Amino acid sequence: MANPIYILNGPNLNLLGSREPEVYGIETLVDLEQRCVRKAQRLGRTVDFRQSNTEGDLVGWIQEARTNASGLIVNAGAYTHTSIAILDALLACKVPIVEVHLSNIFTREPFRHRSYVSQAAKGVICGLGGLGYELAIEAVAAAVSDA
Ligand code: CA2
């Protein structure tokens, strides 16, 4: 059995569906997870979908992905724009990495335009809501089978 694709979600993404639907849509995090599970199944893959509000949890999970994941999809939430610790962990992780954001970070406040995560990512998808997660799974699955 191939290793799962890790899908890591950062702070406040547990609030999806409860506020700011005009920015983040109406899907809850559970809806998003189910969508990812179904997409992965269609591609013959599995996902391990997690969320934490704590930077250290995300760093630990990225370290775990080095040996236990076939690929990594990261929406680091606001840590995207601030966390060198998450960048360093990602740089040490040699599996294919795709960065995803529900909203288009480039049409929002200037502080959201910079992403540390992008420096370690094979590709970046933003502004497509939950569909972006499905596209990221497709990209990681393709990168894994090319390897
Ligand atoms: O667009 C994205 O996916 C973000 O990563 C979401 C982060 C934000 O800080 C990034 O700049 C872009 C914030 C997630 C907060 O999610 C909420 C969802 C519903 C209600 C409140 C917050």
3-class secondary-structure state, position 73: strand
Which ligand 1 atom is at minimum distance from the Cα of 76?
A: 5
Q: How many CB atoms lie within 10 A of CB 115?
A: 21
Q: What is the pTM of this model?
A: 0.97
Q: For ligand 1, is residue 42 a contact (CB within 6 Å)?
A: no
Reported as a single tens digit per residue, the pLDDT across 26-80 is 999 999 999 999 999 999 999 999 999 999 999 999 999 999 999 999 999 999 9
Phi, psi of 101 (to 5 degrees): -135, 140
Q: Is 24 a catalytic residue?
A: yes
Reported as a single tens digit per residue, the pLDDT across 72-110 is 999 999 999 999 999 999 999 999 999 999 999 999 999
Which residues lie closer than 8 Å to 106 by C-beta, 6 or more apart? Answer: 112, 113, 126, 127
Burial 52-67, CB ≥16 within 10 A → b, else e: beebeebbebbebbee
Q: Whose CA is nearest to atom 5 of ligand 1?
A: 77
User: Which of these is catalytic: 24, 79, 116, 133?
Assistant: 24
